[in-house]
Amino acid sequence: MNLRIGAGAIAFIAVAFLVRTARADIISYNFTNPAGPLGTSQSYTDNGVTITAYGFTSAGVPYNLYGKTNTSEGLDELGLGLNDGVHFEVEAQHFIELDLANIMALDPTALTIGLGSVQEGEGGNVYGSNTYDTLGTFLFTIGDENLHSLPTSGYEYFNIKASGGNVYTNDVLITSLGASYTPTPAVPEPVEYPMLVIAGSLMAISAKFRKLKRQK
């Protein structure tokens, strides 16, 4: 055995182990799919993490959601709204609730949301809540189509409704939600322990070889 390859072998095993146990640390959701009429709830999954959207009237009565993909009114008319038979968007008389319990369980380091179909003078209010079907505490208003940060702790649900005004002229869509988190270090599986033992042995042999070489 040529001991000079010890370091290379150790590096190879280490890289293989890291690749085997690596996890993605960014998740994102695009609310343009599925499209068309939806039920009163709709789940979205990315990288194994599921969130659920619910539609409600202002009184907390379940209301059908709608995935809007109408580009005839403009390229920004894409996203999650409500099946109101008019614009299929979220206005002031209803709200959409996002259940982010699975994201919050990951202790996210960042959380963002984006709205669409925001015309001049329109906006969407964002609320935080820990109770299903309850609007909760007002957080801020979004008046553009940029990404905006949400609190990374303190709330399990985030609710969105139009900021007010005429129900037919002030309505918005939810287009995206994203989160980043620090992955939990993976515990080696049983089949990986032999790799660690081999790596440790190679390190010991390599160290002994270098010591003998210095003594010559």
Q: In terms of domains, do 132 and 202 share one?
A: no
Residue 173 has pLDDT above 60, yes or no: yes
How far from each other are the two terminal CA atoms of the chain, in whole angstroms?
20
Question: How much of the chain exceeds pLDDT 70, in percent?
Answer: 69
Parent domain of 200: 3-22+193-215
| Residue 87, pLDDT score | 87
pTM: 0.75
Residue 97 is part of a domain; what is its CATH number? Answer: 2.60.120
Tens of pLDDT, residue by residue over 85-115, are 788 999 999 999 999 999 999 999 999 999 9
How many domains is the chain built from?
Answer: 2
Highest-confidence range of 96-110, 156-170, 173-187, by mean pLDDT?
96-110
**Helical spans, DSSP H, in the chain:** 6-21, 101-104, 193-215
Measured CA to CA, the distance from residue 70 to residue 81 in angstroms comes to 12
* Any domain includes 55: yes
